[in-house]
């Protein structure tokens, strides 16, 4: 049974997600549709890429992932079907895919787009899913193209005694995720002591393994399930309680 995931900013109160699902099922009733999230912030391709990047590898190879975020960001509207890492991806060419992948995808095709349609996503996405799930050759899904829209992601700044990162995501629990991963930290730490500083809060000098490693109400740092540095409060809301926002700086000083 083919699996199709959907990541969008449709929300849960309107009919958009249901319309898209219905169009997909009308072409193939055997499709298993999984919602990754419909609560991505409106037009926020950075958040969408982060959510999908850390979710899609948990699905079986051959899964089709639809991303519907900021589809009509420019006069030139282009939708892509991509094959990478054994998965298929369908979404707008608005820079999102450059954030989702660390390198150029192996196969990129531009999809037919019916501009006069009142809800073109229903046709363009469902048609591409129907093509892939029917077993037809993937290279017939659209016109091959060489390049995708680029969006430069913010990378940590590394020096001999410091890593300076930034907050890239705040989850539903208000845990704060930083663009510093475990591999980078361990490579630069080299067994040195360290202090993690953010805003005007007291620096943290230990990375924990679990939230309950500190008393309830106390802040902590850990590497989360995606191996990114996370700032949290045990049973609390770190973002609001510590005054942290997207793009704020988080600094690790090696002592």
What is the sign, positive or negative, of the torsion defined by CA atoms of 27, 31, 37, 39? positive
In a structure prediction context, what are the per-residue pLDDT tens digits for the chain, which is 255 residues long?
Answer: 899 999 999 999 999 999 999 999 999 999 999 999 999 999 999 999 999 999 999 999 999 999 999 887 665 578 999 999 999 999 999 999 999 998 899 999 999 877 666 677 788 999 999 999 999 999 999 999 988 988 888 899 999 999 999 999 999 999 999 999 999 999 999 989 999 999 888 999 999 999 999 999 999 999 999 999 999 999 999 999 999 999 999 999 999
User: At the topology level of CATH, where does 157-254 sit?
Assistant: Elongation Factor Tu (Ef-tu); domain 3 (2.40.30)
pLDDT at position 153 is 81
Q: Which residues pair with 165 in a beta bridge?
A: 250
pTM of the model: 0.88
CB count in 10 Å sphere of residue 213: 13
Asked if the 3-144 domain carries CATH number 3.40.50.10790, the reply is: yes
pLDDT at position 145 is 93
What is the sign, positive or negative, of the torsion defined by CA atoms of 105, 110, 115, 121? negative
Helical H runs in 83-200? 96-100, 120-133, 182-189
Where are the extended beta strands (E) located within 71-198?
79-84, 87-92, 107-110, 143-144, 157-159, 162-170, 176-181, 194-198
CA angle 130, 70, 23 (to 5 degrees): 25
* Encoded tokens for 64: 């089709």
pLDDT at position 46 is 92
CB count in 10 Å sphere of residue 22: 12
Domain ranges of the chain: 3-144, 157-254
Q: What is the Cα–Cα distance from 146 to 9, expressed in whole angstroms?
A: 28
pLDDT at position 73 is 65
Q: What is the Cα–Cα distance from 43 to 151, expressed in whole angstroms?
A: 14
């Amino acid at each position: 049974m083919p699996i199709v995931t959907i990541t969008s900013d449709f929300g849960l109160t309107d009919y958009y997600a249901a319309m898209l699902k219905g169009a997909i099922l009308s072409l193939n009733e055997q499709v298993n549709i999984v919602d990754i999230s419909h609560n991505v912030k409106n037009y926020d391709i950075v958040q969408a890429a982060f959510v999908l990047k850390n979710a899609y590898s948990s699905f079986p190879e051959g899964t089709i992932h639809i991303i519907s975020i900021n589809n009509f960001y420019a006069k030139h509207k282009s939708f892509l079907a991509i094959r990478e890492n054994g998965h298929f991806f369908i979404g707008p060419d608005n820079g999102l895919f450059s954030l989702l992948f660390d390198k150029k995808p192996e196969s990129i095709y531009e999809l037919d787009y019916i501009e006069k349609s009142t809800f073109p996503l229903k046709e363009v996405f469902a048609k591409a899913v129907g093509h892939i799930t029917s077993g037809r050759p993937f290279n017939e899904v659209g016109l091959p193209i060489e390049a995708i829209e680029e969006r430069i992601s913010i990378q940590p700044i590394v020096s001999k005694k410091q890593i300076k990162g930034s907050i890239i995501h705040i989850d539903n629990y208000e845990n704060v995720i930083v663009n510093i991963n475990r591999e980078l930290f361990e490579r630069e730490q080299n067994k040195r002591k360290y202090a993690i500083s953010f805003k005007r809060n007291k620096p943290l000098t230990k990375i924990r393994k679990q939230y309950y490693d500190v008393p309830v109400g106390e802040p902590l740092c850990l590497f989360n399930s995606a191996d990114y540095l996370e700032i949290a409060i045990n049973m609390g809301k770190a973002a609001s309680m510590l005054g942290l926002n997207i793009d704020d700086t988080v600094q690790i000083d090696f002592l």
